[in-house]
Chain A
Amino acid sequence: MSVINPTGNNEMLGEAVAMRKIGRFERFLGPDNYRVLQGLLKTPASVAGSVLILLFVIVALAAPVLAPPVNVNDPYQIPRDGFKAKPQPPGTEWRVRPPPLPFWWKAVTGKDKWIHLLGTSQGQYDIYYGIIWGTRTAFKTGLTVVIATVLLGVVVGAISAYYGGFTDNILMRIVDILLILPSLMATLILAAVLTPVLGKTTLPAMIALIAFGWMGYARIIRGDILSVKERDYVLAARVIGVQDSRILFRHIIPNAIFPTLVLASLGIGDVVLSFAALSFLGIGTGLGYADWGQVLSFARNWITSLNSYWYIIVWPGITLVLFVMGWNLVGDALRDVLDPRLRGKV
């Protein structure tokens, strides 16, 4: 008969319980969170999504190399080739005030004239520049809005869950009220109200997206905190007299925040989509600012002749679809991983 020795390296136990090594990273994240991350890395759809996202990150970082701006101090202004209204097809030569030639252009094509790679849109705005610098705008607005909404949501949700009772009731009713109006309608009106105050920048739309975007996160973190706060270590902290705020921020939130963070990081796709929708409707950035919604909105006046001017919607359209699809693919895989009914099947 063999005796199980809890300290030694026991062969029998290894066979019976199928032990495996737990790495430092897994210990840091905790078993549930590690499983989620692993699930994401193993699903083909989510890998494809990640590759798409990575491509966009590279484009955003390399924007000054891919499309050198005319005015270095104002790179987000899409350069124009004259002022004629009619769009021009891809490959047209740049006539009026061409931007500096990127260094790779001559090496790749052997020509020393800059062309409109993807054509120009209404008013001779260059579509290629709009897309490349629009990628930066997308990440900039997406990241800012997501970080702000998560912070707001976590604070409200945490206060609501930790104090409970009356406070909880009031905060959650506020959440209910903010959720009545459809999000596009709500952000549209708030952005319209804020534009005269803040001017035609990215700010009004971003503030509107933050103001009506945090409620979902507040609900999720509230639920997670409600379950974490019943754990023994929270009780232990309370017994030895730790302050409320310290318990909340040092003991509870770090243990409850992971699902919210993952969901939030995928929210960038949705935020960018809403932002593009707002600027497509004419709310938000000033004329000629590089953002995908605006580049698409140029097409609104050319509906009847889209058969010849296809490039003014196809290029920016594909860009936006691929961007959103990247986040959706990862998000879809995540939903499967997080769904408790499917646990162990991924």
Chain B
Amino acid sequence: MTTYIIRRLMLVPFLLFGVSILIFGMLQFLDPIERASLYIRGDFKSENQISAVLKKYCLECPIYKQYTNWLIGTIDSVSGEREGGILFGNFGWSKTTSQPVAQLIARRFPNTLDLTIWAIGPVILVGIWLGVLAAVHHNGFLDQALRVFSIIGTSFPTFVFGLLVLMLFYANLQWFPPGRLTDAYTQVVGSSQFHHYTSLLTIDALLNGRFDVFLDALRHMFLPILTLSYISWATFLRVTRGSMLETLRQEYVTTARAKGLPERDVIYKHARPNAMLPVVTLAGFSVVGLMGGVIITETVFDYPGIGAAAAAASAQLDVITVLGFALFNGLILILANLVVDILYAVVDPRVRLS
């Protein structure tokens, strides 16, 4: 187990290096002067200004020098402050939103996290439940119906499904609006009486005792969660069903049935826990995927998370901002995958001991 974890940990610096090279490589498509936004904010008009900036931040230096500069930034000789340097959390200046990229991420990420927390339950638990149901009724009517349901689910592009539910539940029925909060509540949240303990809106609302804000936030998150769920149920259904069917064929299940256990106990106490192993990995990766910002879902529902921000920036060709998001996304994914792998080793003795 320790060897496994150490080996897995050794992979992390390598992956981080790889992602940084990948993103740095994409930066090379920009003009040198455009790369100045990595270090400072500003428009440069005169030739003198431009050449001064190019020189100061070493934007036309050899590649390896630019790379180290990009990693650790430069110290300004007058103010003594560090400019740029992704290792210090300076991802550059976002021109389209007029703020540092790091600040943009810091503002948007709590929203994405909030959505993730509320989406985990419906996405994973319902998906697993459906999968078990399909396996128990193998080849029966329910199984066939769920199969059709899942094929339709995998065939629905997120944005088509999103637009259709918006048409139904927002334009027609007016039940669940897109966005983050109703205007009136945005003012409540912005006022000084509302304390931001965690910056997760739903949890803050509960801590402040504002159930109306809490419910309004949930109402706005309903459609994104519905979309995410329906799209991912198909995958969970398939994996759980396959794994369940495999487990139900094992001999200990026959033994359990032979000694006269009720079918419910056989399925839920003997078979299901053992069928969950592949599902655990899948669940881990979907949570990670949700945290990385769900680009299309957030865009369709105008939800202010990091996915929508990344999409908006790339539509306006603000490369520095987009690459900042990619860097952040890569970081989250590498760390979260590490956690998932280690947890999996803890759960499954076969991985732990090999």
| Residues of A that sit less than 8 Å from B by CB | 45, 173-174, 176-178, 180-182, 184-186, 188-197, 273, 276-277, 280-283, 296, 299-300, 303-307, 310, 313-314, 317, 320-321, 324-325, 328-329, 332
Contact = CB atoms under 8 A, between A and B. Distances in A.
Given A177-B19, A281-B295, A303-B170, 5 more contacts: A184-B296, A185-B329, A189-B314, A196-B29, A281-B314
Interface in B221-271: none
Nearest to B31: A196
A4 to B, nearest CB: 39
Given A303-B178, A320-B157, A321-B156, A178 B22 contact: yes
Interface string B134-156: 00000000000000000110111
A195 B319 CA distance: 10
B33 to A, nearest CB: 13
Residue of A181, A186, A196 with most chain B CB atoms under a 10 A cut-off:
A181
Contact of B333 (A180, A280, A321, A332): A180
Interface stretch (B44-52, B97-105, B160-168, B211-219): B160-168
Given A303-B178, A321-B156, A328-B151, A280 B167 contact: no
Contacts of B330: 180-181
A173 B317 CA distance: 30
B116 to A, nearest CB: 14
Nearest to A339: B242
B35 to A, nearest CB: 12
A299 B300 CA distance: 10
B326 A181 contact: yes
A293 to B, nearest CB: 8
Contacts, number: 136
A193 B151 contact: no
B57 to A, nearest CB: 20
Contacts of B315: 192, 281-283
B311 A325 contact: no
B172 A307 contact: yes
Contact of B319 (A192, A282, A299, A307): A192
Given A277-B157, A303-B170, A196 B317 contact: yes
B322 interface: yes
B14 interface: yes
